[in-house]
Amino acid sequence: MKYFPLNILNEIEKKIGNINPILFYGNESGLISSLIQSTYKILQKKSGIYDIKYFDHNNKEEKLEYLLKNSSLFSKINFIVIKNPKEGLILELKNIEKTNNIIIINGGGLRAKSKIKTYFDNHKNFISVPCYQLNKNDIKKIINDFLKINNITLQNEAYWFLIDNISEDFLTLESELQKLLIFKKSSIVLKDLQKLITQKNNVDADNYFFNCAAGNSSLIIQDINSSNTTTSESYEILISLKKFIYILSSAVVNKNDISLDDLVKTYLPRYLFLKKEMFRDIIRKTNLIKIAKINNMLQKTEFLLRKNSELHKEILERFLLNLTKIIK
């Protein structure tokens, strides 16, 4: 039986009686750890369990059955977290008689085709919880719930900026949202939010695309010389450019079927509302031939950066100036 991270804790809160074994799996180790700790805190209050016992399935000297039969000195119920689960765990769980113990499996290292994952996904009683990088809908729900609980209001532009720029990593997202508590029972404007959170996207890097569109070659060179000092910064700028080139490509493909205003509304990130007019003009002047040229340049630039990383600044500068010639 499969549940998702956003509702599993509510299900545990509502559950009356025994909690069936739960498997947390996926590549988001931070989310898995957080959910295990939250599950423990909920059940500690409800069931009177005392502490967490960890069982490493790699350790052949220990037996899970023995651990299940020996309760804590302070509680009749064990909260057992099984690490490094192997496929033999399926048979062990089948052979274990009904138990009051709480069994949690940390399946962070399981393969996508793991038999354990399939077993839990299809079991009518056992619970599986996929823990992968949060998508935009997950992020929106987490943010909306946090704002509502803490009575915080975001102005519209600030709200969309937060959704587009906050990290998809669960623990980082939680940490960033905690910063908003200084605005409890008040409203946050975009300018304050930009100073407060650590953005996954560098807004200064975003500006390179729009400086190219404005044909401002001197400003581009000035920015490159003053702020771009490392290879990683060049890659960060290039990643931002790739994002906007992809957005522009998608808009241009649909230009004959959708109005310019609707294309801007659909494709421009909402936190960049001040760039609406410029983005509309960029779409109007760009065609598929230009997009093909830009993509060819982008591929060449990525290759050159990998091959000659010591020349990262010169390579990126050349790309930006050529991009300016095409889209200005």
DSSP assignments along 300-315, one per residue? HHHHHHHH-GGGHHHH
Domain range 136-196, CATH architecture: Orthogonal Bundle (1.10)
Res 98: pLDDT: 64
In Å, how far from its chain's centre is CA 136? 8
Res 204: pLDDT: 64
Contact 173, 167 (CB under 8 A): yes
3-state helix, strand, coil in the chain (%, to 5): 60, 10, 30
Res 210: pLDDT: 87
Burial of 150 (0-12, 13-18, 19+ CB in 10 A): middle
Res 52: pLDDT: 83
Res 291: pLDDT: 92
Res 77: pLDDT: 75
Contact 197, 165 (CB under 8 A): yes
Res 23: pLDDT: 94
**Segments making up each domain of the chain, as ranges:** 5-130, 136-196, 203-327
Residues 6+ apart with CB under 8 A from 84: 56, 57, 58, 109
Contact 255, 285 (CB under 8 A): no
Q: Is the pTM of this model over 0.85?
A: no
Low-confidence ranges of the chain (pLDDT < 50): none
Topology classification of domain 5-130 = Rossmann fold (3.40.50)
Q: How many CB atoms lie within 10 A of CB 93?
A: 19
- CATH fold match for the domains 5-130 and 136-196: no
pLDDT one-digit tens code per residue, 13-66: 888 777 889 999 988 888 888 899 888 888 887 777 767 888 888 877 677 776
Burial of 14 (0-12, 13-18, 19+ CB in 10 A): exposed
